[in-house]
């Protein structure tokens, strides 16, 4: 018998309450029953996004909402600034390029965070930039970018700030309206404690005005159509009904915990994880670490992919390796969503076994003790 555990930055474990909500018989979506479900779920999402704006619920993976953000914010020929410092920042650039936009890349070395002052300089030198595309928590490197400072800068310019918050939403504070973020994009399989399949997008007044003017081709992801329909508690196309039922349940659990407690829990679990791995002599990859995921450098002579594989095949634990050029060099342990101290301790204990199996010198318990000491406080 082997028990499987997800300690990856998506998909994340789903609580039993949410699994049960999704197991209910499928209802038809053009009914008052669905409208009531959708209305309550949309209200709860506004709470999570800390916004008075509509939060669109889309049947797509996170990338679908990212593509939707691009086609609804931009027009052919637009110049856009893309903060690249990992796979997901690069994805913004790829989507923008696919639609023929002129991408001005701001390259950030992997593992480092953007200096918002650099964005200010670029925006000053190029006042025609229509939008800045940013990643709040760069899951591929484990870096948390300073979105509040970035928003304060972009808000003073005509450019829109479009943010991939897929592993920051429900992990760290992101008061969209208060900070003046124009587009926030989320997905179900991260801190929202759901299976993959739903994506979310919220737009500021400025962003909705841009969506009215936007001239890139769009159909399935036309946010104007979606907003008009969702205002009536309907979805433009067939919604992922069972996932919406699960979303309502998941948001209920999150509301019962409360935002400050959710943010504190993630911070504490990530701190314990960092303490555990550093006590084993390993080095963190991110200079400004995200509480969603801890990226760790693979020790000299040990392939990061072997750590991921051994944890999975021998210990039943899925973590994540490095993506792209970081493959083999780092591994990533997530602490987001339905995660508690025992997930951290399980992960660290299994990592100790794994490292020992791969020939790295560990004293069993060193990482665990360091993690426990953080969790005991
Ligand atoms: C998971 C993730 C995505 C979304 O990827 P999908 O596979 O399309 O759901 C995008 N950005 C970040 C930062 C992520 O962590």
Domains of the chain by residue range:
16-256, 259-376
Ligand 1 center to 63 CA (angstroms) = 6
Which CATH class for the 259-376 domain?
Answer: alpha beta
Q: CB burial class (10 A; 0-12, 13-18, 19+) of residue 238?
A: exposed
User: How many helices and strands (H and E) does the chain possess?
Assistant: 14, 14
The answer to whether 331 and 277 have CB atoms below 8 angstroms apart is: no
Q: Which one of 144, 166, 186, 188 would you pick to mutate in the ligand 1 pocket, going by the greatest count of ligand atoms within 8 A of its CB?
A: 166
Question: Ligand 1 site: residues with CB under 6 angstroms?
Answer: 9-10, 61-63, 88, 135, 139, 164, 166-167, 187
> What parts of the chain have a pLDDT lower than 70?
none
Measured in angstroms, how far is the CA atom of residue 297 from the centroid of ligand 1?
A: 22
Q: Are 332 and 294 in contact (CB under 8 A)?
A: yes
Q: Which atom of ligand 1 is nearest to the CA of 66?
A: 10
CB atoms under 10 Å from CB of 103, counted, come to: 17
70: which 2 tokens? 């691009």
107 in helix, strand or coil? strand
Q: Which of 66, 135, 167 to mutate to test the pocket of ligand 1 (most atoms within 8 A of CB)?
A: 167
Per-residue burial over 301-310, b if 16 or more Cβ lie within 10 Å, else e, is: ebbbebbbeb
Query: 41 in helix, strand or coil?
Result: helix
Choose the residue to mutate in 138, 139, 200 for probing ligand 1, maximizing ligand atoms within 8 Å of C-beta. Answer: 139
Cα distances (Å, whole numbers) of residue 128 to 30, 77, 102, 215, 320: 44, 11, 11, 17, 39
> pLDDT value at position 1?
83
Are residues 234 and 226 in contact, defined by beta-carbon separation less than 8 angstroms? no
Which residue is listed with tokens 């399989």? 189
108 exposed, middle or buried (CB, 10 Å; 0-12, 13-18, 19+)? buried
- Reported as a single tens digit per residue, the pLDDT across 213-236 is 999 999 999 999 999 999 999 999
For ligand 1, atom 12, the nearest C-alpha belongs to 166
How remote is the CA of residue 166 from the centroid of ligand 1, in Å? 6
Give residue 59's pLDDT. Answer: 98
Q: What is the dihedral of CA 194, 144, 365, 262, to 10 degrees?
A: -50
CA of 301 to the centre of ligand 1 (A): 30
H or E element that contains 331: strand 330-334
How much distance in Å is there from the Cα of 62 to the middle of ligand 1?
A: 5
How high is the pLDDT of residue 279? 98
pLDDT digits (tens, 9 = 90+) for 296-325: 999 999 999 999 999 999 999 999 999 999
Spelled out in words, what is the top-level CATH class assigned to the domain 16-256? alpha beta
Is residue 222 classed as helix, strand or coil in its secondary structure?
Answer: coil
- Which residue has its alpha carbon closest to ligand 1 atom 4? 62
DSSP letter at 282 equals -
The Å distance, Cα 162 to ligand 1 centre, comes to 15
- CA 365 to centroid of ligand 1, rounded, Å: 34
> For residue 256, how many C-alpha atoms fall within 13 Å in the half-sphere facing its CB?
6
Residue 63 has a CB neighbour count (10 Å cut-off) of 17
Of 9, 62, 69, the residue with max ligand 1 atoms within 8 A of its CB, to mutate for a pocket test, comes to 62
> What local confidence, expressed as pLDDT, does residue 49 receive?
98
Look at ligand 1, atom 2, and give the residue with the nearest C-alpha.
166
Rounded to the nearest angstrom, the distance between the alpha carbon of 52 and the centre of ligand 1 is 25
CA dihedral 17, 20, 24, 29 (to 10 degrees): 50
Distance 53 CA to ligand 1 centre (A): 23
The rounded Å distance from CA 77 to ligand 1 centre is: 26
State whether residue 77 is helix, strand or coil.
coil
For residue 80, the CA-to-ligand 1 centroid distance in Å is 20
Q: Whose CA is nearest to atom 3 of ligand 1?
A: 62
Alpha carbon distance 73, 131 (integer Å): 8
Rounded-to-integer distance, Cα 126 and Cα 22, Å: 48
Q: For ligand 1, what atom is nearest to the CA of residue 292?
A: 15
Nearest CA residue ID for atom 5, ligand 1:
62
pLDDT of amino acid 2 = 86
Give the strand pairing for 137-138 and 183-187.
unpaired
């Amino acid at each position: 018998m082997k028990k499987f555990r997800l300690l990856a930055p998506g998909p994340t474990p789903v609580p039993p309450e949410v699994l049960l909500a999704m197991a209910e018989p499928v209802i038809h979506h053009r009914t008052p029953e669905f409208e009531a479900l959708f209305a309550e779920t949309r209200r709860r999402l506004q709470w999570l996004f800390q916004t008075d704006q509509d939060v669109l619920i889309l049947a797509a993976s996170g990338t679908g909402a990212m593509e939707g953000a691009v086609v609804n914010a931009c027009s052919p020929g637009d110049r856009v600034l893309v903060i690249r410092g990992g796979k997901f920042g690069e994805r913004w650039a790829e989507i923008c390029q696919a639609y023929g936009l002129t991408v001005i890349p701001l390259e950030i070395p992997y593992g480092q965070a953007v200096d918002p002052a650099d964005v200010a300089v670029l925006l000053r030198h190029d006042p025609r930039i229509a939008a800045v595309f940013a990643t709040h928590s760069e899951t591929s490197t484990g870096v948390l970018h300073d979105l509040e400072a970035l928003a304060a800068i972009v808000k003073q310019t005509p450019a829109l700030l479009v943010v991939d918050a897929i592993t920051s939403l429900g992990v760290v504070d992101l008061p969209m309206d208060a900070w003046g973020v124009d587009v926030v994009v989320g997905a179900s399989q991260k801190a929202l404690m759901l299976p993959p399949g739903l994506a979310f997008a919220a737009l500021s007044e400025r962003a909705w005005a841009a969506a009215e003017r936007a001239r890139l081709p769009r159909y399935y992801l036309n946010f104007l159509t979606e907003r008009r329909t969702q205002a009536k508690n309907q979805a433009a196309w067939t919604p992922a009904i069972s996932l919406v039922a699960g979303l309502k349940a998941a948001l209920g659990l999150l509301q019962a915990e409360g935002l400050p407690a959710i943010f504190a829990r993630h911070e504490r679990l990530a701190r314990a994880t960092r303490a555990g791995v550093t006590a084993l002599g390993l080095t963190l990859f991110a200079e400004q670490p995200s509480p969603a995921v801890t990226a760790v450098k693979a020790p000299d002579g040990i392939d990061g992919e072997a750590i991921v594989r051994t944890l999975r095949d021998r210990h039943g634990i899925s973590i994540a390796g490095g993506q792209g050029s970081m493959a083999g060099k780092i591994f990533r342990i997530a602490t987001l969503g339905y995660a508690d101290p025992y997930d951290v301790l399980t992960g660290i204990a299994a990592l100790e076994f794994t490292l020992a199996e791969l020939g790295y010198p560990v004293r069993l318990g060193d990482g665990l003790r360091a993690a426990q000491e953080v969790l005991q406080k």
